[in-house]
């Protein structure tokens, strides 16, 4: 496994991030433990989750599954760089009391203690803001985070789904207050969806944040969906809906044809492409089975030629960074 540093921290993390969103809703606890053991055995040390994962009546279930895996011992917790998130309304319905969601100091304090209990640990390596909160002053957020760092409950703070301007605002405020600031940004980024290149990734690079792309296969769209469809696979979800657009289908067909010519698997190439991108720490993969994890691991060792990278840019040209992306 290849490793890199997480942004401007001293943490060494694997270039593949194990996403756990499927643990609970789609993958039972025993299989989830098997996947985590396989990931750790393969050298993946960066695990990502969120307090809301489990969804619906089972919000928090995913953190509980990770906690029961840690409880097996064997140095599991010490070997893992653990990231979780805060923001969501954790009530079973949307009828929560005020201050039971978002990024108020009150909710951050409540949420971190609840996550620590579910995870069965006394600290979180990377505590991430799942979305921006337009109501809570940035100064209040950093005051709450600084207290958690001083208490030893978290090591670093990161963001998720933040626009470039918010990354700048958060870190400029942190600088003024003497806080450490954000160290990472989780963003939607893949071959098909490259808008993060305009402002989010440049902002992350400017402030020394690691970039952790989520949905690297665009919900399966980049995982060989047309070929699977031709082989009798079931069409479902957003990826299948995207193929109803003629232009999108043409791009994906060209993508699959190109990789078929090179004897490469689409999903592995999509992951490997992200590992070539400036500023990227590592993409999040969310396997439902151990076999899916094995496929993701192969992407780390896959070397993409300059010719292939140029061909991918022709199919998925992206927007380019700002301000050039806005040029007339």
Active site residues: 53
Distance CA 228, CA 322 (A): 37
Helix intervals (H) in the chain: 29-41, 61-70, 76-79, 105-119, 138-151, 164-177, 200-206, 225-230, 237-242, 246-262, 266-275, 290-300, 306-315
Distance CA 278, CA 249 (A): 28
SS3 317: coil
Q: Write out the H or E segment, with its range, that includes residue 213.
A: strand 210-214
Sequence-distant (6+) residues with CB within 8 A of 235 are 225, 229, 243
The residues pairing with 106 across neighbouring beta strands, listed in sequence order, are none
Q: What is the DSSP string of 54-91?
A: T-GGGTTHHHHHHHHHHTT-TTHHHH-EEEEEE-S--S
Distance CA 151, CA 169 (A): 25
How many other C-beta atoms lie within 10 A of the C-beta of residue 230?
10
Distance CA 211, CA 7 (A): 8
Distance CA 83, CA 210 (A): 13
SS3 242: helix
């Amino acid at each position: 496994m290849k490793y890199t540093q997480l942004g401007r921290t001293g943490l060494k993390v694997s270039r593949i991030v194990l996403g756990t969103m499927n643990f609970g809703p789609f993958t039972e606890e025993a299989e989830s433990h098997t996947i985590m053991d396989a990931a750790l055995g393969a050298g993946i040390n960066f695990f990502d989750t969120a307090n809301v994962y489990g969804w619906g009546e089972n919000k928090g279930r995913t953190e509980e599954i990770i906690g029961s895996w840690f409880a097996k011992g064997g140095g599991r917790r010490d070997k893992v760089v653990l990231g979780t998130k805060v923001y969501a309304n954790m009530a079973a319905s949307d009828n929560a009391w005020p201050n039971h969601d978002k990024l108020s100091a009150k909710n951050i304090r409540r949420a971190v203690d609840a996550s620590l209990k579910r995870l069965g640990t006394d600290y979180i390596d990377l505590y991430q803001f799942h979305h921006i909160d337009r109501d809570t002053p940035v100064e209040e957020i950093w005051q709450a985070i600084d207290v958690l760092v001083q208490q030893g409950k978290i090591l670093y703070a990161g963001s998720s789904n933040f626009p470039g301007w918010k990354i700048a605002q958060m870190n400029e405020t942190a600088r003024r207050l003497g806080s450490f600031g954000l160290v990472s940004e989780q963003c939607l980024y893949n071959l098909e969806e490259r808008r993060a290149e305009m402002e989010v990734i440049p902002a992350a690079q400017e402030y020394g944040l690691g970039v952790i792309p989520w949905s690297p296969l665009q919900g399966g769209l980049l995982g060989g969906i047309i070929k699977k469809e031709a082989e009798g696979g079931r069409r479902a979800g957003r990826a299948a809906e995207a193929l109803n657009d003629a232009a999108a289908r043409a791009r994906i067909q060209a993508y699959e044809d190109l990789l078929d010519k090179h004897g490469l698997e689409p999903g592995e190439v999509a992951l490997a492409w992200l590992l070539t991108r400036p500023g990227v720490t590592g993409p999040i993969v969310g396997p439902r089975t151990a076999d899916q994890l094995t496929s993701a691991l192969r992407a780390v060792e896959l070397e993409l030629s300059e010719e292939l990278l140029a061909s991918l840019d022709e199919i998925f040209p992206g927007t380019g960074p700002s301000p050039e992306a806005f040029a007339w």
